[in-house]
Structure 1
């Protein structure tokens, strides 16, 4: 296996026609169905990069920007944005296309942290990422920043370190009623 690979070597794209069986009670394509497709393409991309079985460790924020209609062609694109020692961040972009008008809508983007595993379930080292342009460097740096921010946030709100007095004022204008002393 190569020590480093470019993101281009692992890019994956799928397109699927959205059918009535994919719809929710509101007549739009169910968000859970789209999330399932996103997880599948993140798996395919990370497995292609690492040449191993991968599991989803986390999903960073999924905002549904536009609804997906039954009858739309849904295209998902995935590429490796960041590589750690055993993990990869896969950027996933989802677009819907009206097959009659040809109009495309960006529906959401998200970042999946995937971890490579061996046959026994142990973490595997993954190839590093070759950065060839400014956009790839921006994506890598943004992913690293997101990882550091999550660590800081998790540490800040750790149950052992959390101080009620520090957050009482922080929550005073929120839709919450504090009833403990």
Structure 2
């Protein structure tokens, strides 16, 4: 299978934050931002795999700076690391005051995507090769994040075994 550079998956988009995109504080809805993050990450993962992909997980999204109505939300995503069928995608979100030009890093997130074939089964993906210093650092630190996700998945399975599917309104 071919090897691809990180730059081949890089995806960038911006969107004007309109009043309908905001909460009662006049800042971008967190859920709307999470939708943007998942969307741009899916574009990057699909560019890398050149096949269908599904979101397997999203690491924490910590909202560091709000993005106000009238500003632009700018997102950049790229594949940082791959396993056999999965890809780690890094997303960086910047808010830009379109009048002053001031930009602030608002959040970053890592998502995991799995490539799937026509039958919905996991499918192999190309390895990724980092080039820039930032890409190399993200690549080198990815195995630690991968192990953390594995542990989190195991803990979540244990948690789910304890949960009941019985409705609280049932006797």
Larger mean Cα displacement after TM superposition, 142-151 or 50-59: 142-151
**Counterpart-to-counterpart distance in 2, 1:159 and 1:14:** 38
**Counterpart-to-counterpart distance in 1, 2:111 and 2:155:** 23
Whether the 8 Å CA contact 2:6–2:131 is kept in 1: the answer is no
Aligned partner of 1:40 in structure 2 is 39
TM-score relative to the length of structure 2 = 0.86
The DSSP-based 3-state class of the residue aligned with 1:101 is: coil
Larger mean Cα displacement after TM superposition, 88-97 or 137-146: 137-146
Aligned partner of 1:11 in structure 2 is 10
**Counterpart-to-counterpart distance in 2, 1:116 and 1:50:** 7
Whether the 8 Å CA contact 2:5–2:128 is kept in 1: the answer is yes
Larger mean Cα displacement after TM superposition, 58-67 or 19-28: 19-28
Query: Are 1:139 and 2:144 an aligned pair?
Result: no
Aligned partner of 1:122 in structure 2 is 121
Aligned partner of 2:72 in structure 1 is 73
RMSD (CA atoms): 1.8
Q: Which runs of 4+ in 1 moved over 6 A?
A: none
**Counterpart-to-counterpart distance in 2, 1:109 and 1:156:** 24
Matching of residues 1-181 of structure 1 within 5 Å: 3-152=2-151, 154-155=153-154, 159=158
The DSSP-based 3-state class of the residue aligned with 1:137 is: helix
**Counterpart-to-counterpart distance in 1, 2:59 and 2:10:** 19
Gaps of 5+ in 1: 161-181
- Check 1:157–1:62 CA distance in 2 against 1; reply closer, same or farther (3 A cut): closer
**Counterpart-to-counterpart distance in 2, 1:57 and 1:153:** 13
Q: Which has the larger radius of gyration?
A: 1
The DSSP-based 3-state class of the residue aligned with 2:45 is: helix
TM-score relative to the length of structure 1 = 0.82
